[in-house]
Amino acid sequence: MAVEIDEYSLSSCLLCLMSNGKQIGTATGFAAIVDDRVFLISNWHVFSGRNAHTGQPLNISHAIPDAVRFNLHVREPFGAVIDCQVQLHDEDENAKWIMHPTGQEIDVAAIALPFLPKNIAAYSLPMLGQTASMRVQVSQDVYILGYPSGMSLNEMFPVWKRASIATEPGLDIAGKPFFLVDTASRPGMSGSPVIARSVGSYIDTSGNTGMGGVFTKFIGVYSGRMGAASQDDAQLGVVWKAHVVDEVLKNGIHGSYSIRA
């Protein structure tokens, strides 16, 4: 009997962050395609190994990742996986990944995967079939497709972590394009795609109801909880809006960082 797997589960990758050949952490990422080029999407703090606000190293030993290992699901043959490793810096220690043109505090980044064969079709977001007209609103349940503490199903598939939208998703916060979700996430979920999912029916942005089927919309990139290390932790996570991914891919600049107080 054939096993049915949601194609959104096939889009999310467990990232193993490497430094001098040793694993120093895990995160989550997903593929996106622009002009036939495949990119791996995650957070700025994942690829840089640094706090997006201060620029300081995140690792307790101050190790900075120099490579990322991950498995990428491809469409043909079904169930096939490519074991990938991409270097984060060139021979001159310049970043090979790109970041948002406004700077590191927009915590989304991308790196090209030029080594993929031309005939490989990755499960990529946001190109998977989605309902772009679906209304997304505060209090709505959404799903974070990630790998908490490196956890995965059969080392291949993400955990669908439920969250609820906690702030008005149409508004920016402190002038930045993100909204908050209420969820008890764990380390390793940074870089996860976030989707809205409705089964049977959905309401579109005009207030009309669509019927019949499973409806999905890619709404952003998760980057972790606010204040997770403090007693003020309210279990609120940050989701960078979907359009930020487009801005990084179309107008991104070479990855860099600055140290801030």
Q: How far apart are alpha carbons 85 and 118 in whole angstroms?
A: 17
Q: How far apart are alpha carbons 16 and 70 in whole angstroms?
A: 6
pLDDT at residue 230, rounded to an integer:
53
Q: Strands, E, within the chain: which ranges?
A: 12-19, 22-34, 37-42, 67-73, 81-87, 98-99, 109-112, 141-146, 159-165, 178-182, 193-203, 209-225, 236-241, 253-254
Closest CA to 187 of 52, 69, 53, 26: 26
Q: Please name each of the domains of the chain with its CATH number.
A: 12-124+246-254 (2.40.10), 141-242 (2.40.10)
- Angle (CA) 97-99-103 rounded to 5° is 145
**How much is the average pLDDT of 61-65?**
97
What backbone torsions phi and psi does residue 247 show, to the nearest 5 degrees? -65, -40
Whether 128 has a pLDDT exceeding 90, the answer reads no
pTM above 0.85, yes or no: yes
**Percent of the chain residues topping a pLDDT of 90:** 71
Closest CA to 235 of 224, 244, 246: 224
Q: How far apart are alpha carbons 227 and 94 in whole angstroms?
A: 31
Q: Are 241 and 142 in contact (CB under 8 A)?
A: no
Residue-averaged pLDDT of the chain: 91
**How much is the average pLDDT of 236-252?**
97
DSSP 8-state class, residue 3: P
Tokens for 30? 């997903």
Q: pLDDT for 141-191, tens place per residue? A: 999 999 998 887 776 899 999 999 999 999 999 999 999 999 988 889 999
**Percent of the chain residues topping a pLDDT of 70:** 93
- Give the pLDDT band of residue 232 (cuts 50, 70, 90): low
Token pair 């997006």 is found at 52
Q: Are 96 and 89 in contact (CB under 8 A)?
A: yes
Whether 223 has a pLDDT exceeding 90, the answer reads yes
Q: Are 167 and 177 in contact (CB under 8 A)?
A: no
The count of residues in the chain is 261
